[in-house]
């Protein structure tokens, strides 16, 4: 086998990055394009001792789950990985991704992974966009997204994953790059970041630059006038790294740069840089699942609380909450939203690294008093110091929300080795058309005797059946079971 060789392969698996997996003897072959059950002619482009990477030359036989992608940029843009798979098949595949991670990485045999709860919209769901700008001496400037695993720009004028308000902004920004008066904005910009409200349709825009840029301030009002759906424009500058999308500093240049969204009756004022979920309708489904566990006031500690999305929901249900978050700007936003909802008496926020905070005596005491620990860590998951502190405190209930099945499985392995039992494993499709899946797991401390009751309360339902469109069937949620302190 050599680079450049063409071979026929049957593919049997799909990675979360969208690569199909086939085998040549003991050699795994990864290739974008083929789905499981498909056979394709592929050309080897990379050859290593244990694996090869290939490009698809021609599809020889198709899967019954293959559909025509609805975006012309699919396959070049790195934003979506599975538009060529029907939506019901995506949900089944994501359930298996979670199940396999728990089994192979977490060593959790026999854990029941529930059917994935679908997004109400399989497209037009994303309320935030970060466009890459190639300006400088480039004429005309180029806007788009990076090709997967590269810094090669794929030009974009429209994206069917974005809510309509944002898609319109993308199209307008693409056309305005040819306007002489705005040339300086495109020359110095690294990113255009826009966010829209699903509650009232308003949107805001931030221009990321290396440093504060007076040239943008001079034309900000004109740019605002050229973007009818945008309420305000900000300059985000001094990014922490070459790959950072937002800067460490922000200045409002025109209009207002906050909008309001509402989930389950809780109001959130957010900005382009906010730590706020991009698919609020799925967050509402997560809230609905948790609702039964909040039927009476609870003492809750929320680790990695971001801008307080979940803390404020818990507090709105009558619970007392402590939220811990490393980013001071997110904490300030959480505190402002607590005041907006009149919840400041029920929730408090601490700006600190989680692994350092849990070592403080006063935080350790709050963990020992807590009835529920909620944690929603970044993609890298939690860490052993934090999880060990939780285990020592013997918090009776853990609700772990994860966006990465692999790091979730690793952390569950540690917790189950330290006295916890897995209860519910419920995936949610927060990001349709992509390889990402959100999963909520409940754990109970020394509570194996109630496992049967938990399983009975959350008896699984058959997977939903509906066409690949923007609608899904309503989902009924049984009561959420927690262990009383």
Query: How confident is the model over 38-72, as pLDDT tens digits?
Result: 999 999 999 999 999 999 999 999 999 999 999 99
**Confidence at residue 446, expressed as pLDDT on a 0 to 100 scale:** 62
255/303 same-domain check: no
In a domain, 482, yes or no: no
Q: Other CB atoms closer than 10 Å to residue 336's CB: what's the count?
A: 15
314/381 same-domain check: yes
**Confidence at residue 452, expressed as pLDDT on a 0 to 100 scale:** 43
Query: What integer is the mean pLDDT of 400-407?
Result: 97
**Contacts with 22 (C-beta within 8 Å, 6 or more apart), sequence order:** 9, 10, 11, 12, 28, 29, 31, 34, 42
Calculate what percentage of the chain has a pLDDT beyond 70.
92
Q: Which residues pair with 68 in a beta bridge?
A: none
Contact of 393 with 419, CB cutoff 8 Å: no
In a domain, 207, yes or no: yes
pLDDT band at 200, cuts 50/70/90?
confident
In a domain, 172, yes or no: yes
For the chain, the average pLDDT equals: 90
Contact of 118 with 87, CB cutoff 8 Å: yes
CA pair distance 193, 281, nearest whole angstrom: 21
333/281 same-domain check: yes
pLDDT band at 148, cuts 50/70/90?
confident
CA pair distance 463, 114, nearest whole angstrom: 9
In a domain, 103, yes or no: yes
**Confidence at residue 465, expressed as pLDDT on a 0 to 100 scale:** 41
**Confidence at residue 139, expressed as pLDDT on a 0 to 100 scale:** 79
Nearest CA among 414, 485, 409 for reference residue 447: 485
Burial class (CB in 10 A: 0-12, 13-18, 19+), 41: middle
CATH assignment of the domain containing 216: 2.40.50.1070
Asked whether the predicted pLDDT for residue 210 surpasses 70, the reply is yes
CA pair distance 26, 51, nearest whole angstrom: 9
Helix (H, G, I), strand (E, B) or coil at 373: strand
For residue 140, cis peptide bond before it (omega within 30 degrees of 0): yes
Asked whether the predicted pLDDT for residue 265 surpasses 80, the reply is yes
Between β-strands 372-375 and 397-402, what pairing exists: parallel, antiparallel or unpaired?
A: parallel
Last-in-domain residue among 228, 262, 296: 262
Higher pLDDT, 342 or 478: 342
**Confidence at residue 483, expressed as pLDDT on a 0 to 100 scale:** 54
289/414 same-domain check: yes
Q: Which of 36-45, 415-424, 470-479 is least confident?
A: 470-479
164/20 same-domain check: no
pLDDT band at 471, cuts 50/70/90?
very low
CATH assignment of the domain containing 102: 3.40.50.150
112/135 same-domain check: no
232/363 same-domain check: no
324/425 same-domain check: yes
Contact of 406 with 105, CB cutoff 8 Å: yes
CA pair distance 97, 101, nearest whole angstrom: 6
CATH assignment of the domain containing 30: 2.40.50.140
**Confidence at residue 29, expressed as pLDDT on a 0 to 100 scale:** 97
Q: Read off the pLDDT of residues 6-47 as tens digits, 9 standing for 90 and up.
A: 999 999 999 999 999 999 999 999 999 999 999 999 999 999
pLDDT band at 278, cuts 50/70/90?
very high
Asked whether the predicted pLDDT for residue 475 surpasses 50, the reply is no
Higher pLDDT, 453 or 116: 116
Asked whether the predicted pLDDT for residue 480 surpasses 70, the reply is no
Give 36-40 contacts, CB < 8 A, sequence gap 24+.
36/11, 36/12, 36/63, 37/10, 37/11, 37/12, 37/63, 37/64, 37/65, 38/10, 38/11, 38/62, 38/63, 38/66, 39/8, 39/9, 39/10, 39/11, 40/8, 40/9, 40/11
Q: Read off the pLDDT of residues 217-241 as tens digits, 9 standing for 90 and up.
A: 999 999 999 999 899 999 999 999 9
Reading the block at residue 126, the tokens are: 């994303």
Last-in-domain residue among 243, 262, 281: 262
313/348 same-domain check: yes
Reading the block at residue 326, the tokens are: 């490393």
Residues 104, 404, 260, CA angle at the centre, nearest 5°?
160
- Helix, strand counts (H, E) of the chain: 12, 21
Element (H, E) at 263: strand 259-263
217: containing domain: 128-262
Query: What integer is the mean pLDDT of 319-346?
Result: 96
What is the reported pTM? 0.90
Reading the block at residue 420, the tokens are: 């916890």
Nearest CA among 345, 317, 332, 191 for reference residue 269: 332
**Confidence at residue 454, expressed as pLDDT on a 0 to 100 scale:** 41
165/249 same-domain check: yes
Element (H, E) at 215: helix 214-226
191/110 same-domain check: no
In a domain, 268, yes or no: no
Contact of 435 with 81, CB cutoff 8 Å: yes
In a domain, 471, yes or no: no
Helix (H, G, I), strand (E, B) or coil at 258: coil
In a domain, 81, yes or no: no
**Confidence at residue 1, expressed as pLDDT on a 0 to 100 scale:** 86
**Contacts with 249 (C-beta within 8 Å, 6 or more apart), sequence order:** 212, 236, 237, 238
Query: What integer is the mean pLDDT of 193-214?
Result: 91
In a domain, 187, yes or no: yes
Which residue among the candidates 31, 71, 80, 403 is catalytic per the annotation?
403
| Residue 403 falls in the annotated catalytic set | yes
| Structural domain count of the chain | 3
**Confidence at residue 135, expressed as pLDDT on a 0 to 100 scale:** 84
277/148 same-domain check: no
Q: Would you state the torsion angle of the CA atoms of residues 229, 277, 85, 52, taken in this order, to the nearest 10 degrees?
A: 120
Q: Read off the pLDDT of residues 347-399 as tens digits, 9 standing for 90 and up.
A: 999 999 999 999 999 999 999 999 999 999 999 999 999 999 999 999 999 99
Q: Which of 180-184, 202-206, 213-217, 444-448 is least confident?
A: 444-448
CA dist 222 → 141, 171, 172, 311 (Å): 19, 17, 13, 39
Which DSSP string do the residues of 428-468 spell out, in sequence order? E-SSTTSS--EEEEEEEET-GGGHHHHHHHT---PPP---S
Reading the block at residue 386, the tokens are: 């934090």
CA pair distance 419, 417, nearest whole angstrom: 6
CA pair distance 278, 56, nearest whole angstrom: 32
**Confidence at residue 140, expressed as pLDDT on a 0 to 100 scale:** 86
Reading the block at residue 18, the tokens are: 């969208």
Asked whether the predicted pLDDT for residue 274 surpasses 90, the reply is no
Query: What integer is the mean pLDDT of 259-275?
Result: 92
**Confidence at residue 151, expressed as pLDDT on a 0 to 100 scale:** 85
**Confidence at residue 112, expressed as pLDDT on a 0 to 100 scale:** 93
């Amino acid at each position: 086998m050599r680079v450049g060789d063409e071979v026929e392969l049957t593919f049997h698996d799909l990675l979360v990055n969208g690569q199909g997996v086939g085998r040549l003897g003991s050699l795994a072959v990864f290739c974008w394009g083929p789905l499981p059950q498909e056979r394709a002619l592929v050309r080897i482009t990379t050859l290593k001792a244990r694996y090869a990477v290939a490009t698809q030359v021609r599809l020889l036989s198709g899967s019954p789950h293959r559909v025509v992608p609805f975006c012309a940029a699919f396959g070049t843009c790195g934003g979506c990985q599975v538009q060529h798979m029907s939506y019901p098949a995506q949900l089944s595949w994501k359930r298996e991704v979670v199940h396999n991670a728990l089994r192979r990485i977490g060593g959790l045999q026999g854990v029941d992974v529930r059917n994935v709860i679908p997004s109400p919209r399989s497209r037009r769901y994303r309320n935030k966009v970060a466009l890459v700008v190639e300006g400088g001496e480039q004429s005309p400037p180029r806007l788009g997204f990076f090709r997967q695993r590269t810094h090669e720009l794929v030009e974009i004028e429209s994206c069917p994953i974005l809510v309509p308000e944002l898609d319109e902004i993308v199209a307008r920004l693409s056309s305005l790059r040819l306007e002489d008066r705005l040339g300086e904005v495109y020359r110095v910009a690294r990113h255009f970041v826009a966010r829209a409200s699903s509650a009232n349709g308003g949107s805001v825009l931030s221009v990321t630059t290396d440093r504060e840029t007076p040239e943008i301030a001079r034309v900000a009002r004109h740019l605002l006038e050229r973007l009818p759906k945008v309420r305000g424009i900000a300059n985000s500058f001094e990014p922490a790294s070459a790959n950072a999308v937002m800067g460490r500093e922000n200045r409002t240049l025109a209009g207002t740069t906050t909008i309001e969204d509402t989930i389950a009756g809780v109001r959130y004022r957010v900005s382009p840089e906010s730590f706020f979920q991009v698919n609020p309708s799925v967050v509402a489904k997560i809230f609905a699942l948790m609702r039964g566990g909040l039927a009476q006031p609870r003492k809750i500690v929320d680790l990695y609380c971001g801008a307080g999305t979940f803390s404020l929901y818990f507090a709105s249900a009558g619970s007392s909450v402590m939220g811990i978050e490393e980013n001071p700007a997110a904490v300030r936003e959480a505190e402002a939203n607590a005041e907006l909802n009149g919840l400041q008496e029920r929730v408090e926020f601490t700006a600190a690294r989680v692994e350092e905070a849990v070592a403080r005596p006063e935080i350790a005491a709050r963990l020992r008093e807590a009835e529920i620990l909620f944690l929603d860590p970044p993609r890298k998951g939690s860490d052993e110091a934090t999880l060990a502190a939780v285990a020592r405190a013997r918090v009776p209930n853990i609700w772990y929300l994860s966006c990465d099945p692999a790091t979730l499985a690793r952390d569950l392995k540690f917790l189950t080795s330290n006295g916890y039992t897995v209860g519910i494993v419920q995936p949610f499709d927060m990001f349709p058309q992509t390889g990402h899946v959100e999963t909520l797991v409940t754990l109970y401390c020394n509570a194996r005797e109630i496992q049967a009751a938990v399983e009975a309360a959350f008896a699984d339902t058959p997977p939903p059946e509906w066409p690949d469109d923007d609608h899904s069937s309503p989902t009924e949620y049984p009561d959420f079971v927690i262990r009383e302190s």
